[in-house]
Amino acid sequence: MISNRKFTYKIALILLFVAAISFVSDEKFRVLATFIACSGAGLICYLSIKKSLAELKAEQMKAEKKHLSEMETAIKPIAKLLSERVQIIPVLTNQLNDVTQQTESAALDIGEKFMSIVQRARNQAKKASVAFGRFAGNGGSSSESLTDLSKKALSDVIESLREMTAVTRQTLNDMEIIMEDAGHIKKIVAEIEYIADQINLLALNAAIEAARAGEHGRGFAIVADEVRRLSDRSNTAADEIKKLITKVETDIKVIYSKTEKSATESSARSSKAEVVVEDALKKIDDIINETKIKLNEMGAETESLAKDISSIVISMQFQDITRQRIEHVVEPLVSFKAELEDITQKARSMSEKIHEWEGNSSAEWLEKMYTMESERKVLKEVLKNG
């Protein structure tokens, strides 16, 4: 503003000088003075413009420095903030990696536990099947089952009872035959008694005839007497046989009666036992069949459970999918960190350069940066012309 006023004054003085010259009568002096006045005015204009340009440049430099300072002020906290934020990224990635590891570890643990449940359920079903097999005889074992042995034992008992009843019946039949034989013997004894009586009668007649024959019949009388005695002895023997046979007959009848009673009772018991045993065997069969059905159901349930658990274990693959998705988050984060570090570094570098610019003019800064004489020459030429 001051320079503008001074410039106006100088121009006004020159115009006054030119006005004053116009009153000079000497033409040559007037032309010379006018030329000098014009040259002076031109010089004043040049110097004034140069000064104004310098002032303008200084103001521009000042504004530039102010702007740079503002930029530095703005960039510094951004660089600091970026630097701080960059430090957070490894924490985030480590957190995500830790979550992945923990999830994987948990998934493995759950998987193992589920597999163990399946294994145990199957083992239990297998054990139940083997135990049932030992009991019921379908466990694939070559040895006889408990129920088979029980059935056999019960069947043997029934068979023994049947055999005993049959033996008793046979005994009764045998006794009946003996009694029949005894009856025959009694008839034979009666025949013997009849014959002995007839012989006795014959011996008596022979003795009578021998007595009548006198001396000649004495020998015959002795024979007749002997025959009579034999007849008596036959009668006695037959009588004893008869008594014995009667006794045997009586005894056998008693035994027969007892045996018959026993046989009847035994037969009844045998029939009853047979019914009981058959009922027991039927019940055992029913229980076995029922247990078989239950066991098959249990096996099917176990297999179904195993399948369900297998599906659960397979569905644990969500963990792998989650892991990969987290990895897809971590990978860009790592890349992002590197980029942010680069940006931070650039911001710092920019801030440092701005700081340098603040201390020096652009020309000084360029001069400092240039390393070749040719570069400096171009700079000087531009500055000189510009």
Partner 1 sequence: MGKTVLIVDDSASMRQLVSFALRDAGYNVVDAINGKDAMNKLNGTKIEMVITDLNMPEMDGIEFIKQVRNNPGYKFTPIVMLTTESQESKKQEGKQAGASGWIVKPFTPEQLIDIVKKFVR
Binding site for partner 1 (CB under 8 A): 104, 107-108, 111-112, 115, 118, 306-307, 310-311, 313-321, 323-324
Question: Which of residues 143 and 315 has its CB atom nearest to partner 1 in the complex?
Answer: 315
**Residue 231 near residue 203, CB atoms below 8 Å:** yes
**Residue 231 near residue 207, CB atoms below 8 Å:** no
Q: How far is the CB of 300 from partner 1 (least distance, A)?
A: 16
- Spatial CB neighbours of 159, under 8 Å, sequence gap ≥ 6: none
Q: How far is the CB of 307 from partner 1 (least distance, A)?
A: 8
Q: How far is the CB of 116 from partner 1 (least distance, A)?
A: 11
Q: How far is the CB of 142 from partner 1 (least distance, A)?
A: 25
Question: Which of residues 113 and 261 has its CB atom nearest to partner 1 in the complex?
Answer: 113
**What residue type is 307 in one-letter code?**
K
Q: How far is the CB of 306 from partner 1 (least distance, A)?
A: 8
Distance CA 163, CA 156 (A): 10
How many H helices and E strands in the chain?
7, 0
Q: How far is the CB of 340 from partner 1 (least distance, A)?
A: 25
Question: Which of residues 179 and 316 has its CB atom nearest to partner 1 in the complex?
Answer: 316
Question: Which of residues 65 and 122 has its CB atom nearest to partner 1 in the complex?
Answer: 122
DSSP 141: -
Q: How far is the CB of 115 from partner 1 (least distance, A)?
A: 5
Question: Which of residues 35 and 318 has its CB atom nearest to partner 1 in the complex?
Answer: 318
Question: Which of residues 152 and 307 has its CB atom nearest to partner 1 in the complex?
Answer: 307
Distance CA 37, CA 23 (A): 15
Tokens of 193: 């008694």
Tokens of 291: 């247990």
DSSP 139: S
* DSSP state letters, 189-226: HHHHHHHHHHHHHHHHHHHHHHHHHGGGGHHHHHHHHH
DSSP 120: H
Distance CA 367, CA 214 (A): 208
Question: Which of residues 96 and 316 has its CB atom nearest to partner 1 in the complex?
Answer: 316
**Tokens 């009588």 label which residue?**
239
Q: How far is the CB of 124 from partner 1 (least distance, A)?
A: 17
Question: Which of residues 327 and 375 has its CB atom nearest to partner 1 in the complex?
Answer: 327
**What residue type is 132 in one-letter code?**
F
Tokens of 372: 């070749």
Q: How far is the CB of 90 from partner 1 (least distance, A)?
A: 19
Angle at 329 (CA atoms; ends 323, 331), nearest 5 degrees: 100
Convert 108-142 to b/e letters by CB count within 10 Å (16 or more is b).
eeebeebeeebeebeeebeebbeebebbbbeeeee
Question: Which of residues 315 and 385 has its CB atom nearest to partner 1 in the complex?
Answer: 315
